[in-house]
Amino acid sequence: MIAPEGKVILIPASVFLLVLGFLSYKSGNVWIKSTFIIDFIFVIFSLYFFRDPERAIPEDSSKFISPADGKVVQIIDINDPEVGQAKQISIFLSVFNVHKQVVPMGGEIVHSKYNKGKFLAAWNHKASMDNEQTEVLFQTKSGLKYKVKQIAGLIARRILCYMNESVSYERGDKLGFIRFGSRVDIIVPYSFNIDVKVGDIVENSKSILGSEV
């Protein structure tokens, strides 16, 4: 399946590819042929990048699933103004990862806000504080507060977040999408049991990051 967020890129690129293919066939111009090849590669890459595979969500609702695909690059202790003493799990998404994000544990949106910022490389840990990002604060039925931050990277310049304040969402619901390489930070209470370590590869909806105490 292809994510709908890719249509704005795939449709024009595909139309352009057809036009270039026709012109290349008719004229034989080497520059048109070269442009056709470049656009063909871009379309194939975009089809791969905007894939949206269906995944089974673990049945145990007490388990906190990964909101994003990628590699766990950092797990640190922080002090968050709304969560309090907390742990931050950072996931780096390369251009080869699925770029859809999902809700990791059902709850109500306390706030969803956008912060303008820089476009540092997403693997740079300063990106968590300095880069353009959205921040979503959830509160579960049990009172657990946690955050998911979608962070732009060096190439990623478009963050889409579908969370609305005061609305409740279920685990696995679509949270958003980031176009091209990026980073997702998850902030959970300090008492949270983390089941992953730095270097682990995780998948949205499928991988378990931990559980509430």
Q: Which residues are catalytic?
A: 182
List the structure tokens of 130. Answer: 């300095």
Task: Find how far residue 18's CA is from the centre of its chain.
Answer: 31
Name the phi and psi angles at 26, rounded to 5: -75, -40
Contact call for residues 1 and 54 (beta carbons, < 8 A): yes
65/171 Cα distance (integer angstroms): 8
Of the candidates 202, 192, 163, which has an alpha carbon nearest to the alpha carbon of residue 88?
192
Contact call for residues 105 and 146 (beta carbons, < 8 A): yes
Contact call for residues 112 and 134 (beta carbons, < 8 A): yes
